[in-house]
Amino acid sequence: MSDNAQKLYYPPESLAKNAAVPGMEAYQALVKQAETDYEGYWANHARNLLDWKKPFTKVLDESNAPFFKWFDDGELNVSYNCIDRQVNNGLGDKVAIIFEADDGQVTKVTYKDLLSRVSKMANALKSVGVAKGDRVVIYLPMSIEGIVAMQACARIGATHSVVFGGFSAQSLRDRIESSSAAALITSDGQFRGGKALPLKPIADEALAMGGCESIKKVLVVKRTGTEVNMTAGRDVWLNDILAEQPETCEPEWVGAEHPLFLLYTSGSTGKPKGVQHSSGGYLLHAMLTMQYTFDIKPDDVFWCTADIGWVTGHTYIAYGPLACGATQVVFEGVPTYPDAGRFWKMIQNHKVSVFYTAPTAIRSLIKAADANEAVHPDRYDMSSLRILGSVGEPINPAAWEWYYENIGGSRCPIVDTFWQTETGGHMITPLPGATPMVPGSCTLPFPGIQAAVVDETGLEQPWGQGGILVVKRPWPSMIRTVWGDPERFKTSYYPADFQGKYYLAGDGAIRDIDTGYFTITGRIDDVLNVSGHRMGTMEIESALVAHEKVAEAAVVGRPDDTTGEAIVAFVVLKGPRPSEADAPAVIKELSAWVAKEIGPIAKPKDIRFGENLPKTRSGKIMRRLLRQLAKGEEITQDTSTLENPAILDQLKG
Ligand code: 6R9
């Protein structure tokens, strides 16, 4: 053991005994199985976990690498696997969804109800001309309808593309154009924190921008009751057409590789990428991770607090829990309304047993609990909890320990799940009945996932030495391509640096010298992680320079206690640098502009003005310097190559 060996937290024996993976020997046995017969390992799971209309005979097809195919000649339907088979197996009356609205109202949906709601929605989509292979953009709040809409697309073989309800008209327009979607499903508005916020008006604005001509129908859910414009011939109230639909809808059987969904995510360059996922391989990993990582059992009440606009809300709300026949909580609101005890109260009220949230939420709730004893978790009965999860960004050890002690009562393992939009499901994570945990480490690869840390040439690094995180073999739930841009898929994820052999995650990692545990050290590209949301610095820069007053902009991240990273923008205006008195108004204007161009999540926390940006004599922006300035660090490095060292003072902030 090295001197800095960390304290290990062990899974409680009672949990380990009955867990799907009951201990490290069981984990190692699975890893071994996958190593000795990689295809056999995945094929077995695929046969055991999924219901196939037509069984597959091929497992992995690598003939057109890196465009890998899994279970290609098999046929299935994802919605059938999530809903019909539960009903067929006697779970019709089991509660699938406990929906809690922003105002606290609770609605329960059984699997039988869900089947009829999804079938009606599927029929409604067909009635307005949506067919297998079409794309459908879903711009909805957290709602039963959101999940039903996703499932309905899957049922008829349409490919959904969910756009987070916090995104702007511009972002929505870009995603509609890129996917050339046939229909848009939205709502009049959404409730968040006691306020009714608009959605349909934003959708109208997006559709009016041009580039959205592919959209033939807009289906509108009534949620807030706010009055909205309805364009005749194009816009339809969903409630009206749902009422006319038959309650059954034969699932459309599709090939395993049929695209289940696109989800746009930020990269280091250009516009967001449409990550394309498959049907069979994706659902397999959604289910397997529900079983191994969350140890989901028939009596569990699962709650993932993500939004369906992100991948976590796809895999661990819309698909994984349903495919396992679980009962899950779905929450419309925000963790701080009516007060910061909301999550704990909901855990108590719904007897949640598996709780999955993001470090940024935990950190802000720690602050709130410290400030106000009335919302401290010790005021609530959370004895129903048995497993906790974390996702979206690294969890700092202090937040991990607070989560462990105050929420989990020092008895619930925390699964710190590392994964990405592109990976479809968990990649590196503790298993709750097996893996001894270390706060801040996502520990070991999920059985069957061959993760490694390499140098720039692809050479595996010794433990204790940091490097680049890669995955050495294709896995069933991986991204299939970037929608409409296969070349970008190749260069982003299978770069020539590794001879196209390894999947490049885009994160740095280091393995512990004693345990081999992985710790993610952060993105190695120009992607920021703000409150667990991925943002490309380029995207924010493009938004800023699109403003009429801005000549140039550079965006960097700086560590932030609550949001993980915060956005700092360095801006050069076309006119003179604003005086101290004028700056606040310009900052406000630019912030509002970014919110409008991308969405409020992309607003810079700090905007600073200079007459120029620090550049080398060849004109390159020195981002490393900007990162130091953003953090408020003294510039110690040699700035003699700078063309204009004086402007550093202006940008100090
Ligand atoms: C699921 C999701 C992916 C990026 C990823 C990494 C960061 C996610 C993490 C984590 C450390 C964890 N990330 N989980 N970093 N520990 N447990 O978040 O997908 O939105 O695509 O973000 O998030 O940097 O590359 P996505």
Q: Which atom of ligand 1 is nearest to the CA of 310?
A: 20
pLDDT for the residue numbered 8: 95
Give yes or no for residue 557 CB within 6 A of ligand 1.
no
Closest residue by CA, ligand 1 atom 3: 420
Q: Which of 561-575, 608-622, 630-644 has the highest mean pLDDT?
A: 561-575
pLDDT of residue 645: 78
pLDDT grade for 1, boundaries at 50, 70 and 90: very low
Q: How far is the CA of 505 from the centre of ligand 1 (A)?
A: 10
Residue 28 Cα distances to 24, 418, 452, angstroms: 6, 19, 17
Instruction: Give phi and psi for 191, each to the nearest 5.
Output: -100, 130
| The total number of structural domains that make up the chain | 1
Nearest-atom number in ligand 1 for the CA of 522 is 24
In a domain, 624, yes or no: yes
Query: Rounded to the nearest whole angstrom, what is the distance from the C-alpha of residue 337 to the centroid of ligand 1?
Result: 26
User: Who's near 580: CB < 8 A, 6+ residues apart?
Assistant: none
Cβ–ligand 1 distance for 536 under 6 Å, the answer no
Give distance in angstroms: CA of 204 to centre of ligand 1.
32
Residue 545 forms part of a structural domain = yes
Q: Within a domain: residue 537?
A: yes
Per-residue model confidence (pLDDT) at position 398: 93
Report yes or no on 179 lying in a domain: no
Residues 6+ apart with CB under 8 A from 25: none
Q: Is 450 a domain residue?
A: no
Q: How close is the Cα of 504 to the center of ligand 1, in Å?
A: 14
pTM exceeds 0.80: yes
Binding site listing: 192-195, 312, 392-394, 416-421, 507, 523, 531, 534, 545, 547, 550
Q: Once rounded to an integer, what is the mean pLDDT over residues 312-341?
A: 98
**Residue 394 Cβ < 6 Å to ligand 1:** yes
Mean pLDDT for the chain? 95
Neighbours of 406 (CB within 10 A): 18
Cα–ligand 1 centroid distance for 392 (angstroms)? 4
Closest CA to 189 of 147, 141, 138, 230: 141
The residue with tokens 């007897």 is 351
| Residue of 317, 393, 507 to test ligand 1 pocket, by largest number of atoms within 8 Å of CB | 393
Mean pLDDT to the nearest integer, 610-623: 84
Distance of CA 391 from the midpoint of ligand 1 (Å): 7
For a substitution probing ligand 1, which of 391, 403, 530 has the most ligand atoms within 8 Å of its CB? 391
Mean pLDDT over 132-143 rounds to: 98
What number does the ligand 1 atom closest to the CA of 533 have?
20
Q: Distances in Å between the alpha carbon of 162 and those of 94, 147, 281, 391? A: 27, 10, 20, 20
327-331 vs 301-304, strand pairing mode: parallel
493 lines ligand 1 (CB under 6 A): no
| pLDDT tens digits for range 507-560 | 999 999 999 999 999 888 889 999 989 999 989 998 999 999 998 899 999 999
Indicate if ligand 1 lies below 6 Å from the C-beta of 309.
no
**Residue 177: which pLDDT band, with cuts at 50, 70 and 90?**
very high
Q: Is the CB of 417 under 6 A from ligand 1?
A: yes
Asked whether residue 190 is assigned to any structural domain, the reply reads no
Which pLDDT tens digit goes with each residue over 567-577?
999 999 999 99
Binding residues for ATP: 392-394, 416-421, 507, 523, 534
- Number of Cβ atoms within 10 Å of the Cβ of 348: 18
Ligand 1, atom 16, lies closest to the CA of 394
In this structure, what CATH number is given to the domain that contains residue 619? 3.30.300.30
User: How confident is the model over 208-249, as pLDDT tens digits?
Assistant: 999 999 999 999 999 999 999 999 999 999 999 999 999 999
Tell me: pLDDT of 452 over 50: yes
Is 520's C-beta closer than 6 angstroms to any atom of ligand 1?
yes
CA 561 to the chain's CA centroid: 21
**Is residue 71 a part of any domain in this protein?**
no
DSSP lists the bridge partners of residue 149 as: none
Using a 6 Å cutoff on CB, does residue 403 contact ligand 1? no
| Residue 529 Cα to chain centre, angstroms | 11
Q: Give the residue, out of 262, 317, 356, 529, with the most ligand 1 atoms within 8 A of its beta carbon, to mutate for a pocket test.
A: 529
Domain annotation covers residue 129: no
Grade residue 413 by pLDDT with cuts at 50, 70 and 90: very high
In this predicted structure, what is the pLDDT of residue 244? 95
ipTM of the complex in this document: 1.00
Q: Which of 162, 316, 390, 534 to mutate to test the pocket of ligand 1 (most atoms within 8 A of CB)?
A: 534
Q: Quick one: what percent of the chain has pLDDT higher than 90?
A: 90
Is any ligand 1 atom within 6 A of the Cβ of residue 78? no
- Does the structure show a pLDDT above 80 at 642? no
Task: Write out the DSSP string of 460-524.
Answer: BPPTT--EEEEESS--TTS--EETT-HHHHHHHHS-GGGTT-SEEEEEEEEE-TTT--EEEEEES
Q: Which residue ranges are tagged as binding site for Mg(2+)?
A: 545, 547, 550
Q: Is 265 in the pocket of ligand 1 (CB under 6 A)?
A: yes
Mutual angle of helices 144-156 and 111-127, in 10-degree steps? 60
Q: How high is the pLDDT of residue 5?
A: 57
- What residue numbers bound the domain in which 605 lies? 531-651
